[in-house]
Amino acid sequence: MSIRWRHYRQMGALLLGLATGPVVVAAAAALPNVLFILTDDQRADAVGYHSKPLLGIKTPHIDRLAREGARFDNMFVGTSLCSPSRASYLSGTYTHTHGVYDNFTDYPASLESFPALLQRAGYDTAYIGKWHMGEEDDSVRPGFDYWVTHKGQGQYYDTRFNVNGERKTVAGYYTDRVTDMALDWLAQREGDKPFALVLGHKAPHGPFVPEPRYAHRYDDVPYPYPASAFALDDKPEWVRQRLSTWHGIYGPLYGFREHYPDTRPEAVADFERFVRSYLATINSVDDSVGRLYAALARAGELDNTIIVFASDNGFLFGEHGMIDKRTMHEASIRVPLVVRYPASIKAGTVVTQQVMNIDLAPSLLELTLGADMPSAQGMSWVGLLTDPGAPWREAWLYEYNYEAQFPYTPNVRGIRQGDWKYVAYPHGDGGPLRHKEELYNLASDPGEAHNLAADAGSARHLARMRAALARLLADTGAQPDRMPIDRGIKRELPEASIR
């Protein structure tokens, strides 16, 4: 017997073997659709609904999702790097568990994912857009009935896609074309199954190429160097060493200058153009959100669809002298998250607890099938939508693993516990432990300007956070250290290429 569109939530859980109680058909709910929109490198303040939107960006369609659903004001990723974070979204697990440590490792075929679980429960599943796990492989992955992606990063114009097995160059601007393909798939689906669609945008990943209509939107908006850009005296030595690398403020922008700060008008203008073009690509993403919203409304499926908007990691624009992500600094790890689903989410809900990318998969399983995801290390935030006092984690783990081909950031192991953040740098490059620690009280220092690790008055907090990190590493099965992944890749990176 086929699973029908208006079948029952608990029946889906039974098909997965995940139901925890008896089926009560009269009380069961219809299976909702899922639309997960994932951007690349979009930091938390790069949306209009933020309290201090970067350059005053306006994103009316994303903002509407937040008004009509829930926004999560403290959303973090457990590894601030594209592929590891994407794997965490799908699997609900930390990087050291799913094993996608870098941007060249594919998602393990044997690892559970929320799309695969929904597929087994009778959903039509599709992935359209940037997959970015297994860099040189665009072949169909398990868990998806329909598949559109490409090798590597893709291009802002005229990307060569694998469209459900047929490889072809699709002319036009990436954001518009993947949206077209998503709308076509939704319109052409046959039968009456619910759907689960993941739409992966390239934007706003660099090198940033806005559509012409948005290319000059922010020309008159200044973006001075952040206050922390050159205040590095209490930071680890590797932070200063990063300044003139590909991931530093004087790398791709200014031709690897060795003298800073460079306040020449032309240098400042280059830096401002860099930030402005990043934001301009997001305006096209916002248009995409609006088109999808309108199509669901026309089809009568808007309120029966869980719409999720998030990003794989943040991005540093000069904070602490950095360009890029990878580190545990706030601009790197904080991302937007909004979820719209009127059946379970009251309009205007604001969740302030610290949630993570590993929490999405178990949350979607609960919202759709009323089921747990036993393999997940994340927690379902569904209870927080109606009860801010619902039980929640006290601390969470951050991890990044040194990449031999991008040797600008050491291994990172960190913990966030309430307002306190502690970061350590074990020797991922094979050398001795030589990088000093970082300790911040974000309640009084949200910009991470004052490293308290060497402050005698904070010694008690430092000891407490060191011990808490050690326990969390042990509890989650993480390695405190990891040697580099040396793939023998020697690259000459093109100008302004940020990976």
pLDDT in tens, 14-29: 556 554 443 333 233 4
- pLDDT(267) > 70: no
Give the per-residue pLDDT at 246. 82
Contact 148, 170 (CB under 8 A): no
pLDDT of residue 21: 40
- Report pLDDT for 404: 83
115 touches 108 (CB < 8 A)? no
CA–CA dist 213, 226 (Å, integer): 28
d(CA 325, CA 333): 8
Q: Is the omega angle on the peptide bond into residue 115 within 30 degrees of 0, that is, cis?
A: no
**244 band by pLDDT with thresholds 50, 70 and 90:** confident
Residue 237 has pLDDT above 60, yes or no: yes
Delineate the domains of the chain, giving CATH numbers in brackets. Answer: 9-16+30-212+272-385 (3.40.720.10), 396-476 (3.30.1120.10)
Identify the pLDDT of residue 262.
63
What's residue 326's pLDDT?
95
Dihedral sign for Cα 312, 179, 346, 90, please: negative
What is the pLDDT, as a whole number, of residue 4?
35
Q: What pLDDT was estimated at residue 479?
A: 81
Q: What is the pLDDT of residue 495?
A: 38
pLDDT tens, residue by residue, 340-378: 999 999 999 999 999 999 999 999 999 999 999 999 999
The larger pLDDT score, comparing residue 272 to residue 86, is at 86
Residue 315 has what pLDDT? 97
Question: Which residues are CB-contacts of 377 (< 8 A; sequence separation ≥ 6)?
Answer: 92, 93, 94, 97, 358, 476
Q: What is the pLDDT at residue 484?
A: 56
Q: Closest Cα partner for 195 from 441, 66, 43, 3?
A: 3
* Greater pLDDT, 363 or 431: 363
pLDDT value, residue 230: 87
- pLDDT bin (cut points 50, 70, 90) of residue 387 is very high
Single-letter amino acid code for the residue at 202: K
CB 78 within 8 A of CB 96: no
Map tokens 């020309």 to a residue: 219
Identify the CA nearest to 410 among candidates 313, 482, 317: 482
300 Cβ contact partners less than 8 Å away, ≥ 6 residues apart: none
Between 9-16 and 360-369, two packed helices, what is the crossing angle to 10 degrees?
Answer: 120
- Report the percentage of the chain scoring pLDDT > 70: 86
Does the pLDDT value for residue 259 go beyond 70? no
Among 252, 267, 254, 259, smallest CA distance to 230 is for 259
What pLDDT score was predicted for residue 130?
97
Tell me the pLDDT of the chain averaged across its residues: 88
Report pLDDT for 213.
96
Per the model's pLDDT, the better-predicted residue between 182 and 257 turns out to be: 182
pLDDT at 146 over 50: yes
Burial (CB < 10 A; 0-12, 13-18, 19+), residue 347, is: exposed
**Spatial distance between the Cα atoms of 201 and 291, rounded to a whole number of angstroms:** 14
